[in-house]
Structure 1
């Protein structure tokens, strides 16, 4: 007997984007590693890849995510978790 039951049916109104099939799904139909979500609407799930690209670009260009250089003591926000 399994200790944890795998949830195969999603809640109504939960939307996911399946990376493997490149489709929008209501409820978790594919495995978690192959999907983004949950999203509140079908429309949000349909734009999941665009949203991910935008967020990746923001993170790649955010100076808080990049070291100032080795040996720099830095100033406010560097290494202490504050912005």
Structure 2
């Protein structure tokens, strides 16, 4: 007996964007690794790639996530 049931049909009103097929789908039609969502509306799912692009830009420019400058000017493990 399986511990988890695989849901084969989605709930009405759950919208996803399939990265493999580049289409909006109601309910999870494709595997989770190939989709973004759920979104509250078809329109929101249609803009999934724009939303992801905007979030990536925010994260790329967030100073809290950029620590590569930390430690510059300090001596490395060799002590030189």
Give me the TM-score of the superposition, normalised by structure 1: 0.81
- Report how many aligned residue pairs link the two structures: 72
Give me the TM-score of the superposition, normalised by structure 2: 0.84
Output one character per residue of 1:2-52: Cα deviation in whole Å (capped at 9) or x when no partner.
Answer: 221100111100000000000000000000000000000000000000000
- Give the whole-Å Cα distance in 1 for the aligned partners of 2:60 and 2:3: 40
Q: Is it true that 1:28 corresponds to 2:44 in the alignment?
A: no
Q: Which moved more, 1:42-51 or 1:62-71?
A: 62-71
| Residue matched to 2:10 | 10
Greater than 2 Å deviation, 4+ residue runs: none
Q: Cα RMSD between the aligned structures?
A: 1.4
Q: CA deviation at 1:70?
A: 1.4
Larger Rg: 2
Q: Which runs of 5+ in 1 are unaligned?
A: 73-83
Q: Which runs of 5+ in 2 are unaligned?
A: 74-80
> For 2:53, what is the secondary structure of its paired residue?
helix
